[in-house]
Structure 1
Amino acid sequence: MANKRDLKKDINYVLGDIIEAVYLWELENPEKDNKSGEAIIDEAITSFDGFMARANERKLENANKHFKTLREDLEAKANDLVKKVNSL
């Protein structure tokens, strides 16, 4: 199992890259409505907060299972957000 610090970095990088992709799309398409892009950014920030709270949990019965589930949830959420960015 990778350590908690690496997991937090992964959360930050993955969701940060998605937000950056939305900002790039907005710069490349100034004539289009940005509300859908802002919604994706808001969802990414909310997800970030939730994932970080889960990563910082202290009292865990099975830490390996908890962090494995957290990584799987991060991957699923990232894939969902990337699909939304691609549909812009």
Structure 2
Amino acid sequence: MLIFGEYLNKKLEQRIKIMSNKRDLKRTINYITSDLFAEGVAASLYGNKAHTEDVNALLSTIIVMHDDYIRRVSHVEPGMPAKKYFKDLKDKFNKEANEIVDQISNLV
């Protein structure tokens, strides 16, 4: 599972460089959250059965994160410069994605 964390961090770094417009940003969010969800499902299937509630909470967190960030890309906060808003959005998304990777690694 540690290998996935390293793999995902490399993919995050590569995909962040690609985020140049809203469409690419949404694709990247979809790509990363779907990878996180798939890894969470794999952890639930192959990990300890004692962590079922934790895995379900983690999967629902990933879904909520996906919906939240897709909505935030579509509707820029009024009064805030777009460049600053999207930089902040990317930083928060990366932080949250890395926290989820750590949680998945701890489950297995």
Give the TM-score normalised by structure 2: 0.73
Identity %: 28
Task: Tell me by how many angstroms 1:29 deviates.
Answer: 3.1
Change (3 A) 1:79 1:59: closer
Change (3 A) 1:58 1:83: closer
Whose helix proportion is higher, 1 or 2? 2
1:14 maps onto 2:32 in alignment: yes
Q: Which amino acid aligns with 2:41?
A: Y
Cα RMSD (Å) of the superposition? 1.8
1:5 maps onto 2:5 in alignment: no
Question: Unaligned stretches of 5+ in structure 1?
Answer: none
Question: Unaligned stretches of 5+ in structure 2?
Answer: 1-18
Find the counterpart in structure 1 of residue 57 from structure 2. 39
Give the TM-score normalised by structure 1: 0.88
* CA shift digits 1:3-45 (9 cap, x unpaired): 1111001111111111100111122137444111111111111
